[in-house]
Amino acid sequence: MDNVWRIVEEYPSHNNFTCRADLESLANVLYPQVRDIGYEVSDESARFNDVKNCLELATAWARLCRDARTQKKMFIVRRTPENSGALLMVQRIEHLRGQVTEMAPLAYLAVVRDDQLFVTRDRVMDQDVTERVLIGLAKQREDCCICMEFIRARQSTVFACGHQIHSDCYEQFVASGHSACPSCRSPVETKLHVVDMNEGSAHERLVAAAKPPAPVVESLPQAQRPVTMSNEMFEKQMETVKGLMQRLNSECEEGSQTADLEAPIEEVAS
């Protein structure tokens, strides 16, 4: 908990950062191409440079994921000598979630919206393929056709035809006198299927979106995935984590001082 850098000892090749693509130039090379589809790209490797313990890692990762969900940006994080401990710990956590292997150290990760890509050093392709993979990730956008914002940013309503828009956009849409799906012009049903797009896996969301309208929608189950909370609530959560980090650091320092005082004195051989 108090030192994420301990994990580097488990990767014999952790000091090797070479791969087939020039990862350092990725953000600059991709910028004009990603901009054409309405996004920006940013190298955020330095965010994890000062991470020492797990609470600091949780804070840095939470802020990165939130920024990806609330901004039209793709974030690229390269494993470097300065952030290797933090990135290998992220790799361990995501390995437990089945998102990446541990056959080799992580080379880089990319986050855009709530999509995440983890690539280990042995699986980095050449420059051209790497660029095309990341551009493809950015293009896999699912936006509300009314407000053109990320569809899974908040609750959505699915029409009988299978298309969906944000529920608040749907209310305004109907209030304006519209009676057909804005995507295919199919008639709007009286009762529609409401989906919390923060719930479940990507496959479960697609299955949910394909379901026919539910006869009655009473309430939605508790979301399994993190919901995009307000800025005020998010900052309160971060302040709580900051307080925990300060307490952890203080306890670690006190424990270290106590251990020094209680260390046994070696006897001098006669």
Give pTM, 2 decimals: 0.67
Dist CA 229 CA 225 (whole Å)? 12
Closest CA to 41 of 129, 110, 107: 110
Backbone angles phi, psi at 72, to 5 degrees: -85, 70
pLDDT per position in the chain (270 positions), as tens?
Answer: 679 999 999 999 999 999 999 999 999 999 999 888 888 999 999 999 989 998 899 999 999 998 998 888 999 999 999 999 999 999 999 999 999 999 999 999 999 988 899 999 999 999 999 999 999 888 877 778 888 777 766 677 887 777 888 888 888 888 888 878 888 888 776 545 555 544 444 444 444 444 444 433 333 333 333 446 677 777 887 888 778 777 777 777 776 665 554 545 444 443
Dist CA 108 CA 79 (whole Å)? 6
